């Protein structure tokens, strides 16, 4: 199975390297060619466009920022569909929404192209260590066929259901991560105001009942003053906006999620969107 990878950023670059180690990676493409050139030195074909990449592979994985970027990669000038043949599988591993996933799937199906929505969680650390969790929506036979590909960079791979269910599950995950991050930031602010030893508080938050995966991941960086993004605040704001759009459409009250969206909007408005999600305290 020949895999092509589009989008070699914070997450995509490490994921593509794991695919290369597993023997799947046949081609890469990135808008900034400099990020693709190290793969060329490894013998991987560096494509001139998504269409050029699609001609050479059985599976196209794209890992870009948002739905408009996915649309451009797939259907824009020089996009995947221009180089695709019937039977190609497109896997969208970015985070957007169930509506977009179904939209992409329908448009690709009209051209004989299969589609899976397969967003990931685990951040930069998970991408580098090959321990991501993948949530997959689409036909189950396609999921089973691509399972070895996913396992090249993931510790857990969950079949969520039909097209769109991968994105739906990811939005649930993002709401919980956002609220965990708010809890961590506000807890630390209270601890500082009370004059507590922050290292001891950190120990409590990583061994007691309040612990969570996101706290264990981001608290050490926060204590070191490292606000660099394992996952950008602007991207979490985008994900929360998708979640709240669905909640509003369904008349579902999610007051804490609405608060999280407003806080991350403030981060972006203050020019802090390129920092990690754990830098939320900067917005207070």
Catalytic residues: 170
Q: How far is CA 204 from CA 24, 146, 188, 219, in A?
A: 42, 40, 11, 11
CA dihedral 97, 103, 106, 110 (to 10 degrees): -140
Q: Where are the beta strands (DSSP E) in the chain?
A: 3-6, 25-29, 45-46, 59-62, 89-92, 114-117, 120-121, 132-137, 154-161
User: From the DSSP assignment, how many helices (H) and strands (E) are in the chain?
Assistant: 13, 9
Count the neighbouring beta carbons within 10 Å of the beta carbon of residue 215.
Answer: 20
Residue (of 81, 83, 90, 85) closest to 62 by Cα position: 90
Supply the DSSP symbol for 145. H
Question: What gap in Å lies between CA 270 and CA 257, rounded to an integer?
Answer: 20
Q: How far is CA 90 from CA 39, 41, 224, in A?
A: 21, 25, 40
């Amino acid at each position: 199975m020949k895999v092509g990878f589009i989008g070699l950023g914070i997450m995509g670059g490490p994921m593509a390297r794991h695919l290369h180690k597993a023997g799947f990676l046949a081609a890469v493409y990135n808008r900034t060619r400099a990020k693709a050139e190290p793969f060329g030195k490894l013998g991987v074909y560096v494509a001139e466009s998504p269409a050029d990449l699609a001609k050479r592979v059985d599976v196209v994985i794209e890992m870009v920022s948002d739905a408009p970027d996915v649309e451009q990669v797939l259907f824009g000038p020089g996009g995947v569909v221009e180089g695709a043949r019937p039977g190609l599988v497109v896997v969208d591993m970015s985070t957007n929404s169930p509506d977009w996933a179904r939209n992409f799937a329908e448009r690709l199906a009209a051209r004989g192209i299969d589609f899976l929505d397969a967003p990931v969680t685990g951040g930069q650390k998970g991408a580098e260590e090959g321990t991501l969790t993948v949530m997959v929506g689409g036909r189950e036979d396609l999921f089973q066929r691509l399972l070895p590909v996913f396992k090249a960079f993931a510790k857990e791979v969950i079949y969520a259901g039909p097209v769109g269910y991968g994105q739906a599950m990811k939005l649930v995950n993002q709401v919980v991560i956002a609220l965990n991050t708010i809890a961590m930031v506000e807890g630390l602010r209270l601890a500082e105001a009370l004059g507590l030893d922050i290292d001891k508080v950190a120990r409590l938050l990583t061994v007691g009942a309040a612990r969570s995966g996101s706290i264990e991941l981001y608290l050490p960086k926060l204590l070191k003053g490292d606000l660099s993004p394992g996952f950008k605040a602007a991207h979490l704001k985008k994900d929360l906006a998708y979640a709240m759009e669905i909640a509003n459409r369904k008349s579902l009250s999610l007051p804490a999620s609405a608060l999280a969206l407003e806080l991350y909007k403030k981060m972006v408005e203050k020019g802090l969107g390129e920092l990690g999600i754990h830098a939320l305290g900067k917005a207070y």
